[in-house]
Structure 1
């Protein structure tokens, strides 16, 4: 990797795959190498069993990602991916491993914020579909396709379980700079829930609101990647 370049390790939202970051690399600054992370049971790893608890998943990812942490890197995660990215930072710190240049969290309440959405990992199929409709971002034709939903539901339930069984454990704040992205019309993550992220780092923290609902990242890729490049430049001035 050329000197001065930073690997941006991108973690997906619940039910998402690494492919959701397809195209980001072509839009990113030359100094940013976009590296989507595939979770077990998702996308190219669909044949594997999904992991339904956060701590074992984070430990697995920390081990799997170790070979690519030999160069400067940053984490980006949206929704569930934001929580995974945050806990990955804490896991790497516990291991005495390299830590990221920056943490970008998107579309997620602070980890210690009380949960406000329904518990879904043991809900009926119809209740899961209702929540997906509420959040937006899932095409109606997919929600109405019984065969595709039967294929997706085990992974979705595992991901919802990751979120819904998570218990925040207080630790010293990170020393990693942080940027928090939120959707101005996100029905599930209110601006006040985003503010809580500031307490999770002793370094600088910035909140950026973008237009859109919970899946605002799809329409705001250029803006997000511009903010990523700017934040990394601020931490690594030429």
Structure 2
């Protein structure tokens, strides 16, 4: 059994991954990670600093791994979740904690290609609503429901502060393979995704899907089939290595 820990995109909660649980094989346990300020953690304050949030997630993962024993795991993150997954993997490495078997990043520029200036004009409801519509991942029902829209905008504003606070530092490549996924119609460039190869010393692959930033909604099944295939190959390699 392998756990797939999934980190959400900006403005979202763990619920964005809930439906995936019925799309993965029985040996893969999908674990959506809830961030402070949303869902079951709505009574907590939003995080607004990248390093502080990475530290909190890392401590919670280490606590969860301790309770569950030495079961292997992988990290998956879409958009902001991809950057958080990278930050968590690096933090866990520095802490000497068990590392994920794999890092899966979706719709997320490589850490070295992040542009903090992208968030300088994303202030105020009007700008945030325009950005939500531009990315096309928000159901129309949210825009039509004042309460849901308020929650979404408050969450998005906090998450954009997290993204804007990220400052790239040249760290050693992770000894963890990285698989990146991108949408052909997204505004994230090929070079932004290929640069993920510099973040790993254990192998890099890139997969393209039709669609924009939220191509994962259109291609849930095929994306998860690819994730499972990568993890299965990694697990088989480890079994052979251990046998030798």
Q: Sort the TM-score into its range (normalised by shorter chain).
A: over 0.9
After superposition, the Cα gap between the structure-2 partners of 1:146 and 1:12, relative to the gap in structure 1 and judged at 3 Å, is same
Q: CA RMSD in A?
A: 1.6
Paired residue secondary structure (1:23): helix
| Residue pair 1:181, 1:208 contacting (<8 A) in 2 also | yes
Q: Map 1:26-45 onto structure 2 (within 5 A).
A: 26-45=22-41
Q: Map 1:217-236 onto structure 2 (within 5 A).
A: 217-236=216-235
| Residue pair 1:80, 1:163 contacting (<8 A) in 2 also | yes
Q: Is 1:206 aligned to residue 205 of structure 2?
A: yes
Range with greater deviation from structure 2 (101-110 or 112-121): 112-121
Tell me how far apart the structure 1 counterparts of residues 216 and 117 of structure 2 sit (CA, whole Å).
20
Note the C-alpha offset of 1:144: 4.4
After superposition, the Cα gap between the structure-2 partners of 1:50 and 1:206, relative to the gap in structure 1 and judged at 3 Å, is same
- Which runs of no fewer than 5 residues in structure 1 stay unpaired? none
Tell me how far apart the structure 1 counterparts of residues 206 and 145 of structure 2 sit (CA, whole Å).
38
TM-score by length of 1: 0.93
Note the C-alpha offset of 1:120: 5.2
Note the C-alpha offset of 1:227: 0.9
TM-score by length of 2: 0.90
Match of 1:135? 135
- Which runs of no fewer than 5 residues in structure 2 stay unpaired? 240-244
| Residue pair 1:121, 1:157 contacting (<8 A) in 2 also | no
Note the C-alpha offset of 1:148: 2.7
Match of 1:100? 100
Note the C-alpha offset of 1:116: 7.7
Tell me how far apart the structure 1 counterparts of residues 84 and 27 of structure 2 sit (CA, whole Å).
24
Match of 2:242? none
